[in-house]
Structure 1
Amino acid sequence: MSKPKMLGFISEEVSAWLVAFVALVVGGLLTALLALAASKLSQQQLAQRFELLANERYSRIEERMEDQVQRLDSLRRFFVYAQEITRDEFDGYVGPLLHRSQAYSWAPRVSAEQRAGFERQGRRLFGQDFSIREVGEGGVLQPSPARPLYYPVLFSQTLSQLPPPLGFDLLSQPLRRDTVQRASTPGSMAASAPLDLIGVAPAYTRGMLMVAPVFAAGASGGEPKGYVMAVLSMRQLMADGLPSAAEDNLVVRILDLSLPSGPESLFESGNQAAESSLQVRKVLHLADRTYQLDMSPSQEFLQDNRSSAMGVAFVGGLLSLLLSALLFSLFSQRQRALTLVEQRTAELRISEQSLRDTHNQLRSVLDAATQVAIIATDLHGVISTFNAGAERMLGYSAAEAVGKLTLESLLLPEEVQQRARSISLRFGREISGSQALLGDDLSAADQEPGEWTLRRKDGSLLPANMLVTAVLDEYGLWVGHLAICIDITERKRVHEALEARDRLLEKLTAQVPGGIYQFRLDPDGRSCFSYSSEGLRDIYEVEPELLRQDATTVFERIHPDDLVRVRSSIRDSAAQLTPWREEYRVNLPKAGVRWVRGEATPERLANGGTLWHGYLTDISDLKRVEEELRALSVTDSLTGIHNRRYFQERLKAELERAQRGGQDLAVIMLDIDHFKQINDHFGHAVGDLVLQSLCQRISNRLRRTDVFCRLGGEEFMVLCPGSNASQAHSLALELWQGVRSVPVEGVGRVTASFGVAGWRPGEGADALLLRADSGVYAAKQGGRDRVEAEQL
């Protein structure tokens, strides 16, 4: 009997090879598609990792630059409010600031007339070789030629082992001179173009110089009395605490965009960039300069993030080859089986072969599914099929489960009963436990798997997703159940870890002083806090849930005098994508007026809106301390009246007001007679008592608008806004009489000499005080204890 042919013309010997070849081709195509999909997914993940890494590096660099600005500003304030600073005081203050900075220096203003005295002072401090110097040929410091003005380095503290360039004149080089000139107004700060630093190790020479002017306290113009400087090495600023060039995943370059000649490289990381289209470009600001930060992936980054496409292609190709071999083997076995039964009838041979093929395929699928439990039962729930995945998952062997256990016995009874009650309520009739396993399938055939708890052989419990469907025969009759179970232990562990992370985040934000938030401003003007920690409840006395819906209540809390400024700063930050920083007052229903400081970083949203990430903190106590310090700075500690500094500020303000409006202004100057004799005869404690008694008597006789100040020692001044010379003279006579008429206990009668002067249009403060002083001088020459008008 001849062997049958497939499709009527392909012999059995050829069919096995043909099927294997077709399977190999189809498997190859599927593998190629999977490899392509894996490659695309890998590229997306690579871009996401690179963007996250670049944003983190940008935030770190921006934070370091802002930290340098704050450190230099603190050194500037140290010089502004200090009367005189020694070298030891300078070193003690600057020492803690030397973090990612090469050096901090102080360069006072020295005119040509002051040069000789300044150099003598420097030699006493630093040795005989000290002088005002500049860089000559070969990079050697040499004495500077004569110039009208110098800014030489007097104090300097550096991390370098090389000696600091003491005496180096900042005006001697065009680049440093340009930087100094750009920082010539109070509160300004300037950064130089890229330069080679002096007095630092050769490896750290490339960097920049930041300068900030130091003016006398209260000054609003004129020449600064000096400059404080920060010497920044870009290698030290960028590399400290970051991976080495050989291990860095990013290639970093910083360009200076503020140069008229075009961008210039300020820093390059030195590692080799990979061939990739990935690149991130950011803008940085330091003092008055703008920089461009370019970041691209390095060779190390691509090596650490290699694509899995090749692995998918290899595994897919191997599986395709194995499948082809398996199919070839199966068809070869089929050919051998047909040879054994070729004497049987054609119908019996086809039936037996079909049954064998179906059985083998089903068994192969069941045995291959080692990660999924496949359990089939009859109508009574008794298990008839228990695959290898079920054995691994539940611990029973197929022999122990088939025909002996039911599907319901593998579940927790309370879960089955709860499910039965729930489905009974849904359908309005009693549902048994075995029917409850198929409950969702009663109404829909495409239900998602339900979550159940399986009970293993050893008694342990296993969470799993289980889908139970009805098994129908060829006539559509219900003959059993088929359950497919998937272990979800790992997924539940991940969910629990995420919930724990969320709880930790809530706990951390609750402990942070102030409030952490995300503020969103939509293009249509609507705003809300998409995230707000519990701290915002205390900041604004508003529930965080309300803020997540609408931020209107927050703006209603802001003090009316600060509201316009706060809204304007938010609009500017959104338009320019620059960090937002503000200090403002809020009116709270319970706490009253409080001061709040806020900082946030913006980012653009896909819909054109802006999202800020930031924090808010209550700084009311800090503001109160600042006001107290301000009051102490303008008050004489002995007498309790205003001091010379306050008098100078008020005199300047009143002169400007008088010049604008043509108003009257007068001053009364007085000097206690023979005060030195009182100190010498009675002691300084009694002298202090005399000063306090005199100030109390004069203060009681002054008007509310008059300003009474102690200039120093026994010299006092009364500023009389709105009074002319004649009115001030009458007031001086009244004060003179009040001083001499009441004796001081233990001393007797104390007298004073008074001088009066009225302001003349166009006159400055020095001329007005000089005329008042001339009156005091005339009173003393006339025998003291009297009031004299101006003598000029």
Structure 2
Amino acid sequence: MPLHAVRPKILGFISEQASAWLVALVVVLVGGALTLVVAWATADFNQQQVRQRFQLLTNERYSRLEERFEDQEQRLDSLRRFFVNSSSVSHEDFDGFAQPLLLRARAYAWAPRVFDDQRLVFEKQVSDDRGEAFSIRELSDDGTLLPAARRDEYVPVLYSQTQSVLGSPLGFDLLAQPLRRSTIERAYRSRAIAVSQPMQLVGVEPGYATGVLLLVPVSRPASAQMPDNEPFGYVMAVISIHQLVADGLPRAARDNLVMQIVDTSDTQQRVLYESDNVVGRSGLEVTRRLTLGDHVYVLRLRASQVFEQGNHSSVISIMAMGGLLSLLLSALLYVLVSQRQRAVKLVQQRTGELRQREHELRAAHGQLRSVLNAATQVAIIATDLRGVINTFNAGAELMLGYEADQVVGSMSLESLHRTSELEGRAAQLSQILGKRVTRAQAMLVEGVDSVHEAREWTLVRKDGSHLSVNMLVTALLDDHGLWIGHLAICLDVTEQKRVHEALAARDRLLRKLSAHVPGGIFQFALEPNDNWRFIYASDGIRDIYEIEPGLLQQDAKQVFERIHPQDAERIRASIRLSALQLSHWREEYRVQLPRQGLRWIRGEATPEELPGGGTLWHGYVSDISDLKRVEDELRALSITDSLTGIHNRRYFQDRLRAEMSRVRRTSGALAVIMLDIDHFKRINDQHGHAAGDGVLQELCRRIGSRVRSSDVFCRLGGEEFMVLCPSTDADQAFRLAVELWQSLRSAPMDGVGIVTASFGVASWRFDEAADSLLLRADSAVYAAKQAGRDRVEAELSRE
């Protein structure tokens, strides 16, 4: 056979007849393709890191701004509570309390409500207190402060604490300016903080001129002078949006983010604040909602050029290095192929060059060995036909702890496996194939011509510990297709198994926790197409709504069918409002259940905006029926006298305030009857306190049986009682008092005898306060006692 009949290929795949230039070109193209793949993967990974950094920066910036907005609300509320809890506040008191609150606020002010009939007295009192002339003023068309025109009500600035050198115009009537008037009206209606539309501040730098006015009403518990919890004034804060947002943030030349704030309540959608730095070209952008008082602002955050400069990609460097390596490798292969070709041509003439060829082959084998060892994350193990290991790369050394010298030629691939696992696999395959399969064949039984699949095996390390790997074993063939050994490629899946086990443990823990938490835990989604559904519902939901959790994940409408008809629409509206403002959802409502009947439910959830649109809530629901029943019982106890069983002083005062409000609106009639038991102390001294308690109870029984269903019979304390008579004039009340007096003295009481009482009657007079009405009734009782007791006396005007 001639020498050229069978020619081995260079490196096992390059033909000797191939052109060295062609090989170099192929290597350059393959290297370029691999470089592009690596560059693409690197670019994708870099983009993910950039997005993560951008998300972290936007979350931190949003949290900081949210804290500042909440801080301004809390500072203004603390100023409100200062006025609520103080009987009177002087100018020095206001300055001392408001001055420390001026952080990031331009000014704080106090403006009382002054009605038209109080104006002259108010202006004189303030002028005397300040030692200079003071008047309620308003701006004219040319911007001059002039005395305010007559109106039913004024809200003048009385105290002011400001950072501006120009100060604030004291006496300026806030109701004279439309923007401030609308803000006051909203605060009056809501009894909470109201925020004005964007306004231009006076006396500040142009960059800080855009701002808003925060205003909250100040109210004390209802009284005769200010019924129905009416506010007696307003505290306000003037906020510069630039000062509130930008102070303490990085300078524009170093800021990674470009910010923009827009008032969604403004019909013109004016921009309240916008950064001076330049927007980058990455297109990264996040939109969040900020809430200040009753306004919702849109915060738009974009990546700046500074951010892009600090997060540049290394793709160009990778492509340059990859291209250079491809060129070097192509040059190396070009030299190798060309030298090989020259050696083959001169083999018969120069036998000495054969050694050079063998040296080049050894070098190629060393390069291949280097490539195998470079794969440190993968274990590559090759064996001969007997299964003895002849290749053990660096990745295998790292995974199994053996040195290559300790393994090659002395250990088999079978010895690295757990014996029990191989025996189990061999028994399984023997049963399936119907023939005996040895342990050594358990990983190779598919055969030479079969397609091998990776399987999970457990390998034994040098120190005896176990390692879970995903191993693919294939047959090694020579150039003639003869079987010369096996090749095993192993990937460490320990971390992957640990992650799966951790996820499974977390799921089991979640099920256990939800099973022991009172009520039910849920994830509820409102999708853009107005589709309502539960993403997750714990088993506790079954007890709350008497619906299987699996059914709720298919259709959430069944829950709303359980809600009481009077509460259903309110719950739907609150959910939509929470989705619109991304605000915390908390409601108490009733449900009608087939088995348990009427129950009270409390639900709470926190919303988040879904990337594809819609809103997702994380929350829980619990049964508060027992709590509601206890609340009703406690309320009944709080308005009932424990000894006599009739209403107590607290209930009487609440009903009196309600009836006073009614008669003021309708100009109707109202009367009260007060009675005091005569010589009650003597009864206690002679017969004991038990007998005295019996007298009180018998008196309540007799009086209670005589009063009308519309009357309110209450015990004020001790031996004093009161009957509130709605829609009753003085004559009618006097006749009723006489009937009650006669019923009391008509029959003796057991163990005590005849018990008498002194009665006083008073009827409401136009524009009279409750205290005055009660005082006249008390005076009538006093007159009855002075006249000898055991009688009924009307108010003084009757005498």
TM-score normalised per structure 2: 0.72
Q: What is the CA distance between 1:408 and its match in structure 2?
A: 0.9
Native 8 Å contact 1:211 1:227 kept in 2: yes
The answer as to 2:257 corresponding to 1:253 is no
Deviations 1:427-458 (A, max 9, x none): 454432112122567996152x2222323334
SS in 1 for 2:387: coil
Q: What is the CA distance between 1:567 and its match in structure 2?
A: 3.2
Native 8 Å contact 1:370 1:388 kept in 2: yes
Q: What is the CA distance between 1:486 and its match in structure 2?
A: 2.3
In terms of mean alpha carbon deviation, does 371-380 or 25-34 score higher? Answer: 25-34
The answer as to 2:566 corresponding to 1:561 is yes
Question: Residue in 1 aligned with 2:13?
Answer: none
Deviations 1:74-94 (A, max 9, x none): 9868978x7946679999999
Native 8 Å contact 1:586 1:596 kept in 2: no
Q: Which of 421, 445, 448 lines up with 2:451 in the alignment?
A: 445
Question: Residue in 1 aligned with 2:8?
Answer: none
Question: Residue in 1 aligned with 2:7?
Answer: none
Deviations 1:705-762 (A, max 9, x none): 32246899989552346x89987665333123346668999998432233569xxxxx
CA distance in 2, matches of 1:548, 1:536: 12
Question: Residue in 2 aligned with 1:640?
Answer: 648
CA distance in 2, matches of 1:93, 1:748: 59
Question: Residue in 1 aligned with 2:9?
Answer: none
Question: Residue in 1 aligned with 2:236?
Answer: 229
Deviations 1:126-152 (A, max 9, x none): 975796687999xx9999768654434
Question: Residue in 2 aligned with 1:468?
Answer: 473
Native 8 Å contact 2:160 2:170 kept in 1: no
Question: Residue in 2 aligned with 1:735?
Answer: 740
SS in 2 for 1:193: coil
CA distance in 2, matches of 1:244, 1:506: 49
Q: What is the CA distance between 1:483 and its match in structure 2?
A: 0.8
SS in 1 for 2:657: helix
The answer as to 2:174 corresponding to 1:171 is yes
CA distance in 2, matches of 1:643, 1:144: 46
The answer as to 2:492 corresponding to 1:483 is no
Native 8 Å contact 1:736 1:754 kept in 2: no
Q: What is the CA distance between 1:515 and its match in structure 2?
A: 6.2
Question: Residue in 2 aligned with 1:31?
Answer: 35
Question: Residue in 1 aligned with 2:607?
Answer: 601
Amino acid at match of 2:648: G
Q: What is the CA distance between 1:256 and its match in structure 2?
A: 2.8
CA distance in 1, matches of 2:550, 2:136: 65
SS in 1 for 2:312: coil
Question: Residue in 1 aligned with 2:411?
Answer: 405
In terms of mean alpha carbon deviation, does 322-331 or 184-193 score higher? Answer: 184-193
CA distance in 1, matches of 2:530, 2:656: 49
CA distance in 2, matches of 1:743, 1:272: 96
CA distance in 2, matches of 1:78, 1:275: 50
Name the CA shift for 1:60/1:121 in 2 (closer, same or farther; >3 Å).
same
CA distance in 1, matches of 2:629, 2:133: 46
CA distance in 2, matches of 1:582, 1:99: 35
Q: What is the CA distance between 1:334 and its match in structure 2?
A: 1.7
Q: Which of 747, 759, 763 lines up with 1:752 in the alignment?
A: 759
Question: Residue in 2 aligned with 1:456?
Answer: 461
SS in 1 for 2:470: strand
Native 8 Å contact 1:520 1:612 kept in 2: yes
Native 8 Å contact 1:596 1:620 kept in 2: no
The answer as to 2:684 corresponding to 1:707 is no
Q: What is the CA distance between 1:640 and its match in structure 2?
A: 1.2
In terms of mean alpha carbon deviation, does 580-589 or 301-310 score higher? Answer: 580-589
In terms of mean alpha carbon deviation, does 335-344 or 71-80 score higher? Answer: 71-80
Amino acid at match of 2:652: N
Name the CA shift for 1:242/1:408 in 2 (closer, same or farther; >3 Å).
farther
Question: Residue in 2 aligned with 1:760?
Answer: none
Name the CA shift for 1:464/1:300 in 2 (closer, same or farther; >3 Å).
farther
Q: Percent identity?
A: 49
In terms of mean alpha carbon deviation, does 388-397 or 626-635 score higher? Answer: 626-635
Native 8 Å contact 1:185 1:213 kept in 2: no
Name the CA shift for 1:487/1:545 in 2 (closer, same or farther; >3 Å).
same
CA distance in 1, matches of 2:160, 2:714: 39
Deviations 1:181-212 (A, max 9, x none): 44332536421233466999999875422223
Question: Residue in 2 aligned with 1:612?
Answer: 617
Trace 1:338-353 onto structure 2 (pairs within 5 A): 338=344, 341-343=347-349
Question: Residue in 2 aligned with 1:585?
Answer: 590
Amino acid at match of 1:108: P
SS in 1 for 2:395: helix
Unaligned runs of 5+ in 2: 5-15
Amino acid at match of 1:171: L
CA distance in 2, matches of 1:329, 1:201: 74
Unaligned runs of 5+ in 1: 4-11, 660-664, 758-762
CA distance in 2, matches of 1:57, 1:28: 42
Question: Residue in 1 aligned with 2:10?
Answer: none
The answer as to 2:671 corresponding to 1:668 is yes
Q: Which of 178, 188, 191 lines up with 1:187 in the alignment?
A: 191
CA distance in 1, matches of 2:603, 2:70: 17
Q: Which of 535, 546, 549 lines up with 1:530 in the alignment?
A: 535
SS in 1 for 2:307: helix
Q: What is the CA distance between 1:490 and its match in structure 2?
A: 4.9
Amino acid at match of 1:226: G
The answer as to 2:310 corresponding to 1:298 is no
Name the CA shift for 1:92/1:492 in 2 (closer, same or farther; >3 Å).
farther
TM-score normalised per structure 1: 0.72
Amino acid at match of 2:24: A
Question: Residue in 2 aligned with 1:7?
Answer: none
SS in 2 for 1:518: strand
Q: What is the CA distance between 1:415 and its match in structure 2?
A: 2.5
CA distance in 1, matches of 2:640, 2:137: 44
CA distance in 2, matches of 1:89, 1:695: 51
Q: What is the CA distance between 1:404 and its match in structure 2?
A: 1.5
The answer as to 2:112 corresponding to 1:108 is yes
Q: What is the CA distance between 1:296 and its match in structure 2?
A: 0.8
Deviations 1:507-536 (A, max 9, x none): 998999976532024688775432356886
Amino acid at match of 2:457: W
Question: Residue in 1 aligned with 2:333?
Answer: 327
The answer as to 2:427 corresponding to 1:418 is no
Question: Residue in 2 aligned with 1:307?
Answer: 313
Name the CA shift for 1:34/1:615 in 2 (closer, same or farther; >3 Å).
same
Trace 1:126-165 onto structure 2 (pairs within 5 A): 148=151, 149-152=153-156
CA distance in 1, matches of 2:46, 2:794: 93
In terms of mean alpha carbon deviation, does 288-297 or 47-56 score higher? Answer: 47-56
Q: What is the CA distance between 1:636 and its match in structure 2?
A: 9.6
CA distance in 2, matches of 1:603, 1:373: 45
Q: What is the CA distance between 1:467 and its match in structure 2?
A: 0.9
Native 8 Å contact 1:667 1:772 kept in 2: no
Name the CA shift for 1:624/1:264 in 2 (closer, same or farther; >3 Å).
farther
SS in 1 for 2:566: helix
Name the CA shift for 1:486/1:753 in 2 (closer, same or farther; >3 Å).
closer
Over aligned residues, Cα RMSD in angstroms?
6.2
Native 8 Å contact 2:588 2:600 kept in 1: no
Name the CA shift for 1:637/1:269 in 2 (closer, same or farther; >3 Å).
farther
Question: Residue in 1 aligned with 2:213?
Answer: 209
Q: What is the CA distance between 1:405 and its match in structure 2?
A: 0.8
In terms of mean alpha carbon deviation, does 27-36 or 583-592 score higher? Answer: 583-592
Name the CA shift for 1:593/1:92 in 2 (closer, same or farther; >3 Å).
farther
Q: What is the CA distance between 1:121 and its match in structure 2?
A: 6.6
Question: Residue in 2 aligned with 1:8?
Answer: none
SS in 1 for 2:188: coil
Native 8 Å contact 2:737 2:792 kept in 1: no
CA distance in 2, matches of 1:286, 1:57: 16
